[in-house]
Amino acid sequence: MGQVEILYTPFAAGALHLPNRFVMAPMTRNFSPGGLPSDGVAGYYRRRAEAEVGLIITEGVGVDHPAAVGRETMGGGASPVLHGDEALARWRSIVDGVHAAGGLIIPQLWHQGVIRVPGTGYHPDAPSARPSGIWGPTDKAMVSPDYLEQVRAPTAPLTDSEIGDLIAAFARSAANAKAVGFDGVALHGAHGYLIDSFLWRYTNVRDDRWGGGIAERARFAVELVRAIRAATAPDFPVIFRFSQWKLQDYDARNAETPAELEAMLAPLVDAGVDIFDASTRIFTAPAFDGSDMGLAGWARKLTGKPTIAVGGVGLSKDLQSSFAQPTVMTDNLALVADRMARGEFDLIAVGRALLMDAQWVRKMRDGGAVNPFRLEAYATLD
């Protein structure tokens, strides 16, 4: 295997012990009618575990809050939830299947927040959950005009009591995750969804304790992590996904400088985050001027915590470009391994390559031919 051997070595962070450095990235699948994961979802995750994916992070799973999931830019309408006896029984079966295959699996706890189209989802009458009642700027949004028309109208800002309810909803769902046997939880704090909408200054203009500078805007995320810690266990793994880019603006930045990034992430470390998942469209993209280090590298440098890098592994184009431009499968693992060996990050998340081929991790190690890129994979459950 040469220089990529590091990718197939074990990794441990607290109670989480992985056989290799590959993480299946969370990807919206929309195969859970009524919020209940289908039999196809169970097989989909089990096949990746059988093929030696080190850690599976599930698609976004709606937390126990009525406005958690609805229609959004990726379609929506069939996202799973992590509450209710039937949903929890389905997840318990999925977890058992992954464990029987020798894998590890963690749910990504999700609340769409400002991205949810008002009046949609399993509870269409639920009011929107927006920190300041605003969707954000629309002049750079990579979404359809039809969608923008449905979300651009301001709504009532969240009250302090409603914010408390949201924190409690995440904690309940984390406790449910532990109860059904998941190996930890991952929080979706990226891309403009609920947690990220508190972090970003263009969607959080509050002047109370939930707003202000970047450290103050992180308070909601910090309180979520603390509540999850209290609802689970001191050693229950917590992964936090964050990003600079948003659906509202691909060039957005929560942190303009390393110092601002540290101000945002350090309180999360104190609250109990074990691993940071730095979501970028291309994992090699420099995070700040004056350095070629990516966002995951800066998170690791500033916090001392393990990090996951993601973006463009195994394919020639980023996600958005792949819908419109010729895209092929590619082997860029030597570049991944080089950056990992330099200490930039500890784990590498793979998304679309694992949609194309459940056996991708094993084939890349053994030299097998991987399945070609195909757009249909985005809408199927193979």
Q: Is 67 helix (H, G, I), strand (E, B) or coil?
A: coil
Q: What is the CA radius of gyration of the chain?
A: 19
Cα separation, 76 vs 92, whole angstroms: 23
Active-site residue among 193, 202, 250, 378? 193
Residues in the chain, overall count: 382
In terms of Cα–Cα distance, which of 156, 255, 251, 278 is closest to 200? 255
The yes-or-no answer on residue 147 being catalytic is: no
**Where on the phi/psi map is residue 75: left (φ > 0), alpha (ψ -120 to 50), or beta?**
left
Cα separation, 88 vs 176, whole angstroms: 7
Cα separation, 23 vs 103, whole angstroms: 11
Cα separation, 60 vs 187, whole angstroms: 9
Q: Is 31 helix (H, G, I), strand (E, B) or coil?
A: coil
369 burial type by CB count under 10 A (0-12 exposed, 13-18 middle, 19+ buried): exposed
What letter would DSSP give residue 124?
Answer: T
DSSP characters over 260-285: HHHHHHHHHHHHT--EEEEE-SSTTS
Rounded to the nearest 5 degrees, what angle is found at the Cα of 244, between the Cα atoms of 186 and 227? 35
Give the rounded distance of the alpha carbon of 134 from its chain centre: 22
6 burial type by CB count under 10 A (0-12 exposed, 13-18 middle, 19+ buried): middle
| 324 CB-near residues (< 8 Å, 6+ apart) | none
239 burial type by CB count under 10 A (0-12 exposed, 13-18 middle, 19+ buried): buried
What letter would DSSP give residue 331?
Answer: -
Query: How many other CB atoms sit within 10 Å of the CB of residue 378?
Result: 16
| Tokens representing residue 186 in the block | 């991952």
Cα torsion angle, 288, 292, 296, 298, sign: negative
- Please list the active-site residues: 193
